[in-house]
Amino acid sequence: MKKIVMTMLILSSGFLIAQKSPEKLGMQNKDLPKGIEEGSKVANFTGKNLQGENFELSQALEKGAVVVYFYRGEWCPLCTRYFANLMDSLSLITDKGATFLAVSPEGNAALKQTAEKAPKGLTLVSDVDGSIMKMFDVDFYVTEDYQKKVKTMLHTSIAEANQQKEAVLPVPATYVLGKDGTVIYRYFDYNYKKRAPVSAIINALP
């Protein structure tokens, strides 16, 4: 009996590890992002929101802290569920004088679906060229196998949704930047099923 139990535990552990391996999440080991660390200072960057207006990090930091969240896209059920949970608590973030910035590789057409469900106070930026994702080192080229899986199960072409020639996604990381642009909180996990606790984001705000 003990041998059976041990065998089951070993198999279960192996399955969980496999489920969390970067390759199972659409990444290549030679192309793994690392994410910038706490204490790093983020250079100024700009992006366009859905209204075509410029978002500039330096201007946002003049008002207070900035929460930067990398959003995979409307096509991802886990992402939309977590995003909805975040939006329910958005006022708790903005009431502290912070700006909440959601960055996604999706084009404006896809992001409008997200914006329609979001409350006021959200800044949503399309990062089709990947410049913001690269700055935070959260971007990776999606493997063909994972693209096919998304196409089959979710009827979505990642590259088309992102208006890209090659499919690129971000690790769904979250960063809190202090007023001087320094990272004071980081949540970075390759496993897209794990996200930053909303309470941790709020507690990290100065």
- Domains, the chain, with CATH or none: 41-204 (3.40.30.10)
Q: Yes or no: say if 195 and 187 are a contact pair by the CB < 8 Å rule.
A: yes
Query: Which pLDDT score is estimated for 15?
Result: 33
pLDDT tens over the chain, length 206 residues: 444 433 333 333 333 333 457 777 777 777 789 999 999 999 999 988 777 778 899 999 999 999 999 999 888 888 888 888 888 888 899 999 999 999 999 887 777 777 777 667 678 898 988 999 999 999 999 999 999 999 999 898 988 888 888 889 999 999 999 999 999 999 999 998 899 999 999 999 98
The dihedrals phi and psi of 63, each to the nearest 5 degrees, come to: -90, -25
Query: Which pLDDT score is estimated for 111?
Result: 78
Per-residue exposure over 115-132, b if at least 16 CB sit within 10 Å of its own CB, e if not: eeebeeebbbbbbbebeb
In 3-state terms, what secondary structure has residue 73? coil
pTM for the structure as a whole: 0.84
Query: Which pLDDT score is estimated for 12?
Result: 37
Query: Which pLDDT score is estimated for 17?
Result: 36
Q: Rounded CA gap, 151 and 168, in Å?
A: 15
Q: Rounded CA gap, 129 and 134, in Å?
A: 9
